[in-house]
Amino acid sequence: MRSKLFLAILLTFSGLPVFAQVAPAVKINSLPLGIGGGFSDYSLDYGPGRRMYGASAWVNYELFHGIGIDAEGTSIFAGVPASLGHMRQDTGKGGVIYRAHPHFGIHPYAKAVIGIGSIDFPSRNPFYTHDTYTIWAFGGGGEYKLWKTLYARADYEYQFWHQYQGPRDLNPNGFTIGATYYLRGVHGHR
């Protein structure tokens, strides 16, 4: 009787590995989302030698093989030249970004975005000192790893404000220096 009981227990426990889990319940993924901000220095293209300063913020999400989507906002509001008196340029843009393979620790990228530009400007007409335009921009730059998922970023952007108050385009352009934090190593369920 004992040998039959021993054999039944042995057969029961030898079948347990068949029910072992093959796929993990939690998979550690890299969430390719970057959030950043920085200081911007722009040429306004509103008369010769006009430069102003401000801030930029961005969010990037990589879709596949270096290609991703980019959303960013820039507000140029400080350092108003005395001759302009009342000037501000704000933009909200979104589009595509391509990140190339790193070279010497620098991760280069190029971007093409489209969005809305808002401008406050000096005017002889006190009822017309603000307007908005559809804009597009091209740019690029590079990121350099500072610590784990924190990168320093240098960016250049050239904007097109089509037919700004007439047949001429307005082309503000400038540099942004800042940092991007990537949300990598986040646990996710799959």
User: In 3-state terms, what secondary structure has residue 60?
Assistant: strand
- Residue 20's pLDDT is 54
Q: If you average pLDDT over residues 40-55, what whole number do you get?
A: 87
pLDDT above 90: percentage of residues in the chain: 56
Whether residue 91 has pLDDT greater than 50:
yes
Q: Is the pLDDT of residue 16 over 80?
A: no
Residue located via tokens 């068949």 = 18
Domain coordinates in residue numbering, the chain: 31-189
Lowest mean pLDDT among 41-45, 165-169, 180-184: 165-169
Query: How many CB atoms are closer than 10 A to CB 174?
Result: 23
Within 10 angstroms of residue 125's Cβ, the number of other Cβ atoms is 6
Which residue reads 């921009």 in tokens? 137
| pLDDT given for residue 21 in this prediction | 56
| Entry pTM | 0.78
Structure tokens at 45: 């293209």
d(CA 156, CA 37): 14
Averaged pLDDT for residues 41-45: 92
Are 158 and 139 in contact, with CB atoms under 8 Å apart? yes
Find out if CATH 2.40.160.20 is the number for domain 31-189. Answer: yes
Q: Is 63 exposed, middle or buried (0-12, 13-18, 19+ CB in 10 A)?
A: exposed
